[in-house]
Every structure is written in structure tokens, then in C-alpha cells.
Amino acid sequence: MKAVIFDEVGLPTEVLKLAEVEIREMGDDDVLVRMLASPINPGDFLFIQDLYPEPKKPRFPRQIGGNYGAGIVEKAGKNTTLDRGALVFVTYYDTWSEYAVAPARWLIPLASGYPIQKAAQFMNLITGWDLLEESGVQPGQWLLLTAGNSSIATIVSQFAARRGVKVISVVRTARGDMDMAAFGVTQLIDLSKSGTNLGELIADLTHGLGTNAVIDCVGGALFGDLVRLLAMGGQAIVYGGYREDRFELHNFDLLMKGAAIRSYIYRYFFSPPRREDLSLLQRIAESAQPEEFRMPIGGTHGLDDFKRAITESFKRPEQGKRLFEMSHGYRSIGQ
Ligand SMILES: NC(=O)c1ccc[n+]([C@@H]2O[C@H](COP(=O)([O-])OP(=O)(O)OC[C@H]3O[C@@H](n4cnc5c(N)ncnc54)[C@H](OP(=O)(O)O)[C@@H]3O)[C@@H](O)[C@H]2O)c1
């Protein structure tokens, strides 16, 4: 089969290559998935650069890229209960390929007919849902999101708006093609506009009370400012770190308003989905299924077009999430 692989740790734009590889041998607890679509996520780049702790480490030679995606069960090991033909989300390894073999416990079954591009991005849906829950923000309160144009932020803002939470979205530059109100955003703050004073804007919006929660993947001095702008009892959740600079806080910035900073990492990163999570996962999938729930993408690419897909995703993420789509031209092994 075709796969996008790497043989050494490095920048995704430098070490990835397209190769013909053998489909990995299956055990009795494994499932062979015919991949339909796999997103290119910032986290996939961290994996290629070997920045994650164990067990998320590349194994050489011929490590296949991609950690998430959606596909169809082609063959199920005898200890598994998944049916051939079932649609599944894979939250494992080796997803930038025509076929992936994964232990059944790392797969999440989805309803047949679930939109494939949303299925492929199910990790982001789970993350967005969890971030909102963990922030503790309540209906009528203010939530601030950084990297407001990102896939995760636009998922959180839509879930938040549906719960009656008011959303401030902070972006480096507003995108002309994105109607932020349609993504549930109450107030957009564009940092590129001269004269933007974050403190004054937030004080105006919240009548001097501050935001009740911040969900941040940018970091740096901006994050310090946002923590200082939290309301009494406010919470800041860190889930990424785009900026290289550090934030600085005084203990009293937290203590005097009982504020807290926590981190969030995707729940199926170190351990597989638990059986008892399945009904919540189904709820998350159903909440995002309607067409009005938007998960725009920047483009789809065949595996052959990996260079463009990777370069655009790595260098210009602001153009939107890109997916590998493997559905065209590939036949099921059984055919
Ligand atoms: N902790 C977890 O479990 C978890 C799970 C999933 C994702 N993440 C993290 O979540 C973040 C977003 O992921 P995604 O897939 O939603 O991203 P995405 O759709 O690819 O969007 C990336 C966004 O990041 C913004 N950005 C990039 N560099 C920036 C910088 N230096 N300062 C400010 N903004 C910057 C861009 O903003 P502009 O529009 O302004 O250019 C762009 O909108 C990433 O950091 C990713 O690693 C964490």
C-alpha cells in the first residue's frame, strides 16, 4: 500500500516521503481499517519531531505519519466485536496510509453515514468538547479563546454558543472569509488592528468583571495578560504553546481572585477510549453532525500530493485544516 513515512526525526517538510509499504500483520485483537480520510494536525508534526513523551514515539525504520483518521473496517481480529464495513475513527498511529492496523480498543465506532470529514476530525471534536467542560464556564458567562480561527477554537465556540456561553475570540488577524458569528463568537478581537487594547475591550465587554474562563493554545506574554484579566474564580486552560516567549505572573495574580491555571491533553493520547465513554462520545458526534455545525477545511489531498499538503499545513495553517483523502481509486482488499 501507499503511505507517507519518515525514517528520521525532523521537520515534517524535510523528512516525510511517499513509499510502498507492507500492511502490518494483524493480531487477534487488531482491526484492519481501510482509511478514508486523515487530518494533518499540529500534533502530527510534534510526533514527527519526536516531541511527545512515551508511548507517542516514532519507531524506525519506516514509521508511517498520522495519528488520527476515519475509515472502514476491512477485517476484524477474532477477539474483536467490530463488524466488517463499520465506520470507525482511528486514534492511534499510521493513519497517513491506505490501510492502518490498530488494536480494536483504539477505535471509536461512528454511525454509518456520519460525514467523513467530521469523522476524520473527531479528535478535535472530543478536545473541543472537553476543553469547554474543563473550563467550567456557565451559560451567560464569558469565555475567551485564543487562536480564534483555529479548528479547535471554532469547535469550542460553537459548542459554547449552543450552551448560552458568550465567546470572545482573539485572533492575530481576522479572516475575511470567516463569519465568526456563524461559529458562535459574540465578540472578535483582532490583534493586528492598531489601537487594540485587550484590557480595555475585555473590561468594557464584561462590565469590569473579567472573563470567567480562558482556553489558550498560544501562550507567551499574551497568556499572562489574559490570566490577569480573569474574573473572580476564573480558570485558564492551556492546551498548546505556539509562541516561544514565556509568560510572567505574580502569585497574587492568581491568589487574589482564586483563579487557576490547568493544562489539558487529549484524553486518548496515553490510553485508549474506555467502554464507559462510548455514550458521551456518541453525544459529541451527534452534537456536531448537523450541517450548521461548521468544520471548514483548507483542502483535501491524495497521498501522492503529500508535499503540498504538508508544506501548506506546516507553513500556512491559517489557510485551514487539510485532510488526506484516500477514498478515490482504491479498492477494498476483499474486492
Ligand atoms: N492539548 C490537546 O489535547 C490538543 C489537541 C488538539 C490540538 N491541540 C493544539 O491546539 C492548537 C490548535 O490546533 P488546531 O488543529 O485547531 O489548529 P489549526 O486549525 O491548524 O489552526 C492553527 C491556528 O493557530 C494559529 N497560530 C499559529 N501560530 C500562532 C502563533 N504563533 N500565535 C498565535 N496564533 C498562532 C493560527 O492563527 P491565525 O489565524 O491568527 O494565523 C491558526 O488559526 C495547536 O497548538 C495544537 O497543537 C492540543
Ligand 1 center to residue 129 CA distance, Å?
16
- Residue-wise pLDDT for 81-126, tens only, equals 999 999 999 999 999 999 999 999 999 999 999 999 999 999 999 9
Q: What is the pLDDT of residue 23?
A: 97
Main-chain phi, psi angles of 291, to 5 degrees = -60, -30
Number of neighbouring beta carbons within 10 Å of residue 34: 21
Residue 333 pLDDT level (bands cut at 50, 70, 90): very low
Sign of CA dihedral 202, 208, 212, 214: positive
Residue 52 in contact with residue 74, Cβ under 8 Å? no
Q: Output the DSSP codes for 45-77.
A: HHHHTT-SPTTS---SSSEEP-SEEEEEEEEE-
Burial state string for 119-149 with b = 16 or more CB within 10 A and e = fewer than 16: bbbbbbbbbbbbbbebbbbeeebbbbbbbbb
End-to-end CA distance of the chain: 15
Query: What mean pLDDT value characterizes the chain?
Result: 96
Distance (Å, rounded) from C-alpha 97 to C-alpha 253?
A: 48
Ligand 1 center to residue 281 CA distance, Å?
23
Instruction: Spell out the alpha helix ranges (H) of the chain.
Output: 12-15, 42-48, 116-120, 122-135, 151-162, 198-205, 220-228, 251-255, 278-288, 306-315
Residue 230 in contact with residue 214, Cβ under 8 Å? yes
Q: What is the pLDDT of residue 16?
A: 98
Residue 191 in contact with residue 172, Cβ under 8 Å? yes
- Asked if residue 61 has a cis previous peptide bond (ω within 30° of 0), the answer is yes
The yes-or-no verdict on residue 335 having pLDDT over 50 is no
The yes-or-no verdict on residue 332 having pLDDT over 50 is no
- Residue-wise pLDDT for 273-287, tens only, equals 999 999 999 999 999
Q: Which residues form the pocket of ligand 1, taking CB atoms under 6 Å from any ligand atom? A: 41-43, 124, 127, 147, 149-152, 171-173, 217-218, 239-240, 242-243, 264-266, 317-318, 321
Minimal-distance CA residue to ligand 1 atom 28? 242
Ligand 1 center to residue 216 CA distance, Å?
9
- Residue-wise pLDDT for 225-251, tens only, equals 999 999 999 999 999 999 999 999 999
Minimal-distance CA residue to ligand 1 atom 41? 318
Cell readout for 90 is 482511528
- Residue-wise pLDDT for 156-214, tens only, equals 999 999 999 999 999 999 998 899 999 999 999 999 998 989 999 999 999 999 999 99
Ligand 1 center to residue 43 CA distance, Å?
10
> Coil, strand, or helix at residue 254?
helix
Q: What is the pLDDT of residue 50?
A: 98
DSSP 16: -
- Residue-wise pLDDT for 129-151, tens only, equals 999 999 999 999 999 999 999 99
Q: What is the pLDDT of residue 319?
A: 87
Domains located in the chain, CATH noted: 2-121+295-325 (3.90.180.10), 126-263 (3.40.50.720)
Q: What is the pLDDT of residue 328?
A: 43
- Residue-wise pLDDT for 56-67, tens only, equals 999 999 999 999
- The mean per-residue pLDDT over the stretch 36-44 comes to 97
By DSSP bridging, strand 2-6 and strand 63-64 are antiparallel
Q: Which of 172, 175, 196, 244 to mutate to test the pocket of ligand 1 (most atoms within 8 A of CB)?
A: 172
Ligand 1 center to residue 331 CA distance, Å?
35
Distance (Å, rounded) from C-alpha 329 to C-alpha 96?
A: 16
Main-chain phi, psi angles of 282, to 5 degrees = -65, -40
Q: What is the pLDDT of residue 318?
A: 84
Ligand 1 center to residue 86 CA distance, Å?
31
Q: What is the pLDDT of residue 334?
A: 41
For residue 89, give Cα distances in angstroms to 109, 227, 315. Answer: 6, 35, 27
- Residue-wise pLDDT for 310-329, tens only, equals 999 999 998 899 999 996 44
The residue behind cell 453515514 is 113
